[in-house]
Amino acid sequence: MSGTPKILLQARGVARAFGEGARRRAVLEQADFHICRGEHVALLGRSGSGKSTLLNIIAGIDRAESGVITMNDTDLARLREPARTLFRREHIGFVYQFFNLLPTLSVFDNIALPLQLLRMPEKEIARRVAELLNAAGLDARGGDYPDQLSGGEQQRVAIARALAHRPALVLADEPTGNLDAAAGRRALKLLVGARDTKDAPGLLTATHSREVARAADRVIVLDGGRISDGGGDKQEQLAW
């Protein structure tokens, strides 16, 4: 990124707690961070630290109890559920650890789904899906179904689906967590490669993998409900 990076997403004071019987457990407490356009930020944290909760809040799948999250000058925390759904559909791509492909749809149709929801013309959909299949190394698999693919192939389809509508922000929740090392590297290459495009999205990857974190521009750590960024010192954060 050249010049002064433009902030894409800003979070301030984000808090979320969950009930455990008669008690409540705070998962996020005053979480503050930002992501710039075209930047890859890795979110490190132990299992159960709240990484997935934070990604779900940003995506509008869950809601923060307090705090402000702004993206493209929109305060996501103030949007009602239908508006959050529309905002996510247009501006955010989500990559899940467990793929979440629709088993009754072909590979082609899984990738095409977000474009169809946006009512893109069929010719443009076909062109975009073909482009993504090529980038994923799956040109010959468009007519296959998810259960005919390996785990690594399924994850590449899931990444292609998340990138299909050229979102401003991509959220990836442990995208290599269920893959072997080789498949994980290939999936990560496809995901990070999206930043080489003209309209490069911001990328926030929740992970406990140091290899994934090393591929990021910047690392932030979620621990005890709070986020630290080490003043931009990635090596310091990787030592966490």
pLDDT band for position 119 (cuts 50, 70, 90): very high
CATH number of residue 213's parent domain: 3.40.50.300
Mean pLDDT of the residues in the chain: 88
Say what the pTM is.
0.90
Radius of gyration of the chain (CA): 18
- Taking the C-alpha atoms of residue 88 and residue 227, their distance in angstroms, rounded to an integer, is 23
- Domain assignment present for 12: no
- Domain assignment present for 187: yes
Least trusted range by pLDDT, from 10-19, 128-137, 163-172, 194-203: 194-203
pLDDT at position 229, please?
66
Print the domain residue range for 152.
39-64+78-238
pLDDT band for position 1 (cuts 50, 70, 90): very low
- Domain assignment present for 176: yes
- Taking the C-alpha atoms of residue 48 and residue 223, their distance in angstroms, rounded to an integer, is 10
pLDDT at position 72, please?
81
Q: Is 150 exposed, middle or buried, given 0-12, 13-18 or 19+ CB atoms closer than 10 A?
A: exposed
- Domain assignment present for 233: yes
- Domain assignment present for 7: no
Report the number of distinct structural domains present in the chain: 1
Positive or negative: CA dihedral 193, 14, 177, 215: positive
- Domain assignment present for 208: yes
- Domain assignment present for 25: no
Decide: 144 and 111 in contact? Cβ < 8 Å: no
- Domain assignment present for 69: no
